[in-house]
Structure 1
C-alpha cells in the first residue's frame, strides 16, 4: 500500500493477516496498526485485534476476562467432511493452551513437574548429540537448513522428551504436516480432509502410547504424569495425559523449528552480528532473546472475552474473538529502544512477550531456548563462513499465529 493510500485509508481498516504481503513480511503492518489504534475489529478474520504491549500484557494477566478457550479452535468453519472425520476418531479436549482455571491450574501444576530443571538438563547432552549428528551429515554446497537441521532437531527432542520410540518418528512427523493451517489458517476442503485424517491417526497413536506407559512406566515425561495419576487418579486422568502428549508433541517442535530458522536468517542477514557471535559464542543467549523479540515464531495469539471490556478506550463486547499482536508488542518503542533494529547487543530485550505472560506462560520456554542456543552455538563453531543464498524466495505458512521460513537456503562452506 502506498503512503498516500495509507493517509486516506488507515492500515487497520484493511488488516488481513492471511493476505500475501502480510505473510511475506507482517512487520510494516504490525507497526502501522500499533501506531494507529490500540484495538479494532478486523472483518477479514472476524476478530478484535489488540496492538500494544501494555494492553496485551494486561490481557495475558486477566484470564478471567480474556479466556484461552479458543486457543486451538479453527479460525474459520470446517467443511462437513472434515467435521465428520474429526467426530469419528479425534477426542481431544482443552488441557493447557486452550484451557482456563481451575482445570488449567491443576493440569499445569503436574506438567511443571515433568518439565523440571532436572529433566530438561538431562536432555541437554542429547540435544548436543542430535544436533552434532545432523550437522555432520551436511556437505559443502547449497543446503536447505530446515530439513537438514531446524525441523528434525526439535521434532526429535520433543518426541524423545515425551517418550515416543525413535522408530515411530518419521511416521509421527508425517502426520504433523500442515496442522498449523487447520487451526490457524484457511485450508481448502481437500486440505482439511487430509489434515483431519492425520489428526485422527495421531490421536489414536497417542491413546495407545499412553495406555502402554500406564501399563509399564519408564523414565520419560509421559511416565512422570502416569505416576502422578497412579498416586491420585483425580489429579490427572489418562485422557488428560493423552491430550497433553498430543498437544505438546505438536507445539514443542513446530514453534522451535520456526524460531531457530528465524534466528539463523536474521543473524546471517546482519552479517556483522553473525561474525561477532562466531568470534564470541557467549553472545548466543543474547541472540536467542533478540530473535524472540524481533522475529518470534509466534507473532499473534488468540483469546475470547467473557464480558465487555475496554481496551485503550475501545469498547470490545463479550464473546469477542481476540487476536493479540505479539509481533507488534515486541517492537513497541515504549519498551524497546530502536525497536525496528535487530541488535543482539541490546540491553532491554528480556521484556519481550514471545512466550506470553501470566498463567499461560510457555511451559516449554527453557527447552526451546536450549535447543536454539545449541543449534546456533554449533553452527558458529562448524560453519562460521556460511552465507544466505542471495535472492531466494522465502515462503511462510499461511496462518494468523505462527511464522518461520518453510525453506532456508545457505551456502555451506
Structure 2
C-alpha cells in the first residue's frame, strides 16, 4: 500500500466503489467527489482516485509517468487456491491494455494491421445478418434485450473477428462468465477458484486455436497475425498471438455488451429522444457518442505512478495505484454544458474519454461503434414502439470498472412497424 504520508493529504475513507448504492447508481457519488475533492486517496481500494476530465486526459497522454501495467491486475489479493490453479496452466502476460512501451508499441502496430478497414468492413455484413436473425427471433411481450441481443451479439462479433468457430461460442461465453469479477471485483475464494479454472480452460483453448491457425491460416484477425509471425518470427511470437486472442475475446465482448445495453436503456428512458431517433436514424451516431459520455460501459480504469508526481495539485507518491473515474470525467461541467442531462443533440459528445486517449486509445472503438449502430438501427426500424418496463429493478456487475444492466426488460410490440 502506498498511502498518504501526512494527515494533510486528501483521504476519502467512505468512498467504496463496490458498495450497493454505488453499484446501483454511481453518478451522484462521482459528481460529488469530483466537485468536493477531485484527487484523493481511497483506503477501501488502496488507490488514489482522480475525477476531473483534464487530469485524466493528462494521465492518459503521459505513459512514461503513468504505467498501464496495473490495468488488469486483481484489485484485491488472489487466494492461494486461485494462484495455484493459474500457475498450472495460465501463461498470459501483458500485451496491450496493461502493457507499456516498447512492447506495447510493437504489439499495437501489428494489431492495427489486423484491425484494418478492410477487416472491419468484411465483418459488418456478418454482424448485421446475425443481429437481424436475433431480432427475427423476438416475439411480442416481455423481452430481456440483454439476453436476446446485447449479450450474444458482441460475443458473436468478436469471436467471428478473431476466427473462433461458431460451434465453440457457447463454451467460450461460459468460460467468460464472471471473468470481470476476478480482476475488477472482490469475489470469494471459492468463486476465484472457479473463475481461475475457466481462465485456464480458455487459455488452453486459445493456445490450441493459434497452433491450428499457424498450421492452416484462414481469413480472420488471428490469421493476419500468424502471417506477420511467419514473415518475421522475431517480430511477433505465437505466445504473443495467443495472449492477444485471449485478451481481445474478453475485452471486445463484455464492454460492448454493456455499451450497447446502456445506449438502449438511456434512449428508451428518454422517450422524446428515442422518438427523435426513430424519426431520423441519422441521429444514431451522435446518440452513441452521448451514451459513451453520459453512461460509459467503463466508468473507471487504472494506472500506476512510475515516479513521484503531482495530479490536480495533489502530490502522488511513486508506485501509487490510481483509479481514473471516467464516469466523473464524462460529466465534468468544466468540459460539458448541462453535463447531467442526456442529450443526443449535444455537439461535443464525441470529446468523451470512454475509449481512453494517447497510445492506449481503444483499438476496438470502431467495432464497438459499429455493433451499437446496427442494434439501434434495427431496433428503431423493427420496433419503434418498443417500451421500457418502468418498474424493473436494474442490477449491475459488482466490479469497479465495467457497468451495464444485467437485464433490460422491454415490452416488445405486437407487430413490427
Under a length normalisation based on structure 1, what TM-score does the superposition of the two structures give? 0.97
Mapped pair 1:359 → 2:355: no
**Can you list the C-alpha shifts for 1:112-150, whole angstroms capped at 9, x where unaligned?**
000001100111111110100000000000000011000
Q: Counterpart of 1:241 in 2: which secondary structure?
A: helix
Question: Residue 36 of structure 2 aligns with which residue?
Answer: 36
Shift of 1:242: 0.1
Shift of 1:335: 1.1
Q: Counterpart of 1:89 in 2: which secondary structure?
A: coil
Q: Distance in 2 between matches of 1:31 and 1:348?
A: 20
Q: Distance in 2 between matches of 1:296 and 1:56?
A: 15
Number of residue equivalences: 404
Shift of 1:12: 3.9
Shift of 1:190: 1.1
* Contact preservation (8 Å) 2:303, 2:323: yes
Q: Distance in 2 between matches of 1:312 and 1:284?
A: 35
* Contact preservation (8 Å) 1:278, 1:380: yes
Shift of 1:32: 0.6
Q: Distance in 2 between matches of 1:243 and 1:133?
A: 32
Question: Residue 275 of structure 2 aligns with which residue?
Answer: 275
Question: Residue 164 of structure 1 aligns with which residue?
Answer: 164
Q: Counterpart of 2:173 in 1: which secondary structure?
A: helix
* Contact preservation (8 Å) 2:298, 2:354: yes
* Contact preservation (8 Å) 1:39, 1:50: yes
Mapped pair 1:49 → 2:49: yes
Question: Residue 78 of structure 1 aligns with which residue?
Answer: 78
Q: Distance in 1 between matches of 2:276 and 2:312?
A: 41
Question: Residue 6 of structure 1 aligns with which residue?
Answer: none
Q: Distance in 2 between matches of 1:30 and 1:351?
A: 19
Question: Residue 155 of structure 2 aligns with which residue?
Answer: 155
Mapped pair 1:176 → 2:150: no
Q: Distance in 2 between matches of 1:224 and 1:376?
A: 30
Q: Distance in 1 between matches of 2:300 and 2:290?
A: 17
**Can you list the C-alpha shifts for 1:292-317, whole angstroms capped at 9, x where unaligned?**
00000000000111001111111110
Shift of 1:165: 0.4
* Contact preservation (8 Å) 2:297, 2:404: yes
Shift of 1:14: 1.1
**Can you list the C-alpha shifts for 1:215-244, whole angstroms capped at 9, x where unaligned?**
110110000000000111111100000000
Question: Residue 296 of structure 1 aligns with which residue?
Answer: 296
The runs of 5 or more residues in structure 1 that have no matched partner are 1-9
Question: Residue 4 of structure 2 aligns with which residue?
Answer: none
* Contact preservation (8 Å) 2:17, 2:23: yes
* Contact preservation (8 Å) 1:335, 1:348: no
**Can you list the C-alpha shifts for 1:329-380, whole angstroms capped at 9, x where unaligned?**
1111111110000000010111100000000000000000000000000000
* Contact preservation (8 Å) 1:38, 1:314: no
Q: Distance in 1 between matches of 2:402 and 2:15?
A: 17
Question: Residue 5 of structure 1 aligns with which residue?
Answer: none
Question: Residue 232 of structure 1 aligns with which residue?
Answer: 232
Question: Residue 196 of structure 1 aligns with which residue?
Answer: 196
Q: Counterpart of 2:302 in 1: which secondary structure?
A: strand
Q: Distance in 1 between matches of 2:107 and 2:235?
A: 8
Q: Counterpart of 2:142 in 1: which secondary structure?
A: strand
Q: Counterpart of 1:34 in 2: which secondary structure?
A: helix
Q: Distance in 2 between matches of 1:273 and 1:13?
A: 39
Q: Distance in 2 between matches of 1:287 and 1:392?
A: 23
| CA RMSD in angstroms, aligned pairs only | 0.9
* Contact preservation (8 Å) 2:11, 2:42: no
Shift of 1:82: 0.5
Under a length normalisation based on structure 2, what TM-score does the superposition of the two structures give? 0.96
* Contact preservation (8 Å) 2:134, 2:148: yes
Shift of 1:382: 0.4
**1:5-404 alignment, distance < 5 Å:** 12-404=12-404
Q: Counterpart of 2:224 in 1: which secondary structure?
A: helix
Shift of 1:11: 10
* Contact preservation (8 Å) 2:11, 2:41: no
* Contact preservation (8 Å) 1:30, 1:328: yes
The runs of 5 or more residues in structure 2 that have no matched partner are 1-9
